[in-house]
């Protein structure tokens, strides 16, 4: 049974996250599975690299699924894009992959980007795609404070109370913060993240950028291992899953 690996992008605004839920709730997964059924006649279950939350976007989400018929990958991509019109989901590429490949479990790293629009005027074209903050932010101070979070830690402070992960201990591989024009951008890389961890860390680092927190207070919050010690949680609209990385052999 052929297995296909697809890379896609989507606007998460209209969806209640990636993962399929009740029939009345629009999700990215449900839309994809309807499109697959529409072109192939097969009911499949899509496996994803990252189950993004409500309102979170993707630039390079990875999924896999199996089909009975051996379709050419480009035919799969083109057919899905046709069946997804007019939804804000686009298949960027498709390929045949190994029968034991898993979009979820084979990923060795996931990279997220958070966009903060740092100006007095609200966003017009990027409404729902950025977090608008009027107070000038010190991106360098945010970057310095972000290095406190890098490494193996108990991230209970930055973990949503509804997180279902077995352990709050995660390894954050890197944090980078920089200014790009009117935007302050934050990039986080790790093998896996806790529920709303990136948005929680972003909100806390924004407090540093605004001068309301110091780097030492970020350290204190991390050490507290207490959700109440977290700064404000950044809204979903500014968050993007950029890519999932796999070993070269996982194809």
pLDDT per residue as tens, the chain (251 positions): 899 999 999 999 999 999 988 777 899 999 999 999 999 999 999 999 999 999 999 999 999 999 999 999 999 999 999 999 999 999 999 999 999 999 999 999 999 999 999 999 999 999 999 999 999 999 999 999 999 999 999 999 999 998 889 999 999 999 999 999 999 999 999 999 999 999 999 999 999 999 999 999 999 999 999 999 999 999 999 999 999 999 975 44
Q: What is the Cα gyration radius of the chain? A: 19
Question: What pLDDT was estimated at residue 97?
Answer: 96
Q: Does residue 249 sit within a domain?
A: no
Asked whether residue 98 falls in the same domain as residue 218, the answer is: no
Question: What pLDDT was estimated at residue 241?
Answer: 98
Asked whether residue 223 falls in the same domain as residue 117, the answer is: yes
Asked whether residue 153 falls in the same domain as residue 227, the answer is: yes
Query: What ranges in 151-190 are assigned the alpha helix state H?
Result: none
Catalytic residue among 11, 53, 66, 70: 53
Q: Which of 105, 123, 149 is the last residue of a domain?
A: 105
pTM of the model: 0.95
Q: Rounded to 5 degrees, what are φ and ψ at 209?
A: -60, -35
Question: What pLDDT was estimated at residue 250?
Answer: 47
Q: Is 70 a catalytic residue?
A: no
Q: Which of 75, 105, 135 is the last residue of a domain?
A: 105
DSSP state of 86: T
DSSP assignment of 132-147, as one string?
A: EE-S---HHHHHHHHG
The Cα–Cα gap between 184 and 138 comes to 9
Task: Decide: 113 and 221 in contact? Cβ < 8 Å.
Answer: no
Q: Rounded to 5 degrees, what are φ and ψ at 29?
A: -60, -45
DSSP assignment of 211-247, as one string?
A: TSS-HHHHHHHHHHT-GGG--PPPPGGGEEEEEEE--
Question: What pLDDT was estimated at residue 9?
Answer: 98
SS3 (DSSP) at 148: helix
Return the exposure string of 182-203: e unless at least 16 CB atoms fall within 10 Å of the residue's CB, then b: ebbbbbbbbeebbbbbbbbbbb
The Cα–Cα gap between 164 and 133 comes to 31
The residue assigned the tokens 């997804």 is 84
DSSP state of 231: -
Q: Does residue 250 sit within a domain?
A: no
Those residues whose C-beta lies under 8 Å from the C-beta of residue 181, and which sit 6 or more positions away, are none
Q: Does residue 119 sit within a domain?
A: yes
Structural domain count of the chain? 2
The whole domain housing 97 covers: 3-105
Asked whether residue 134 falls in the same domain as residue 147, the answer is: yes
DSSP state of 158: G
Those residues whose C-beta lies under 8 Å from the C-beta of residue 182, and which sit 6 or more positions away, are 117, 118, 119
What CATH number should be reported for the domain holding residue 43?
Answer: 3.30.70.580
The residue assigned the tokens 């024009």 is 181
């Amino acid at each position: 049974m052929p297995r296909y690996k697809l890379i896609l992008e989507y606007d998460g605004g209209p969806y209640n996250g990636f993962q399929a839920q009740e029939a009345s709730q629009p999700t990215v997964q449900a839309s994809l599975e309807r499109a697959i059924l529409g072109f192939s006649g097969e009911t499949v279950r899509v496996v994803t690299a990252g189950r993004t939350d409500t309102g979170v976007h993707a630039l390079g989400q990875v999924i896999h699924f199996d089909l009975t018929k051996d379709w050419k990958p480009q035919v799969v991509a083109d057919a899905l894009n046709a069946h997804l019109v007019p939804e804000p989901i686009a298949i960027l590429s498709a390929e045949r992959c190994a029968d034991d490949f898993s979009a979820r479990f084979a990923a060795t790293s996931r990279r997220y980007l958070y966009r903060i629009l740092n100006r007095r005027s609200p966003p017009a074209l990027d409404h729902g795609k950025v977090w608008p903050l009027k107070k000038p932010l010190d991106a360098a101070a945010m970057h310095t404070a972000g290095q406190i979070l890098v490494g193996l830690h108990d991230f209970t402070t930055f973990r949503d109370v509804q997180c279902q992960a077995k352990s709050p201990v995660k390894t954050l591989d890197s944090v980078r913060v920089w200014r790009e024009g009117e935007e302050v951008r934050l990039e986080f890389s790790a093998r896996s993240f806790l529920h709303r961890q990136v948005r929680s860390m972003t909100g806390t680092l924004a407090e540093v950028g605004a001068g309301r927190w110091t780097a030492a207070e970020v350290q204190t919050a991390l050490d507290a291992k207490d959700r109440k010690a977290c700064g404000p949680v950044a809204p979903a609209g500014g968050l993007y899953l950029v890519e999932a990385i796999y070993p070269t052999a996982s194809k």
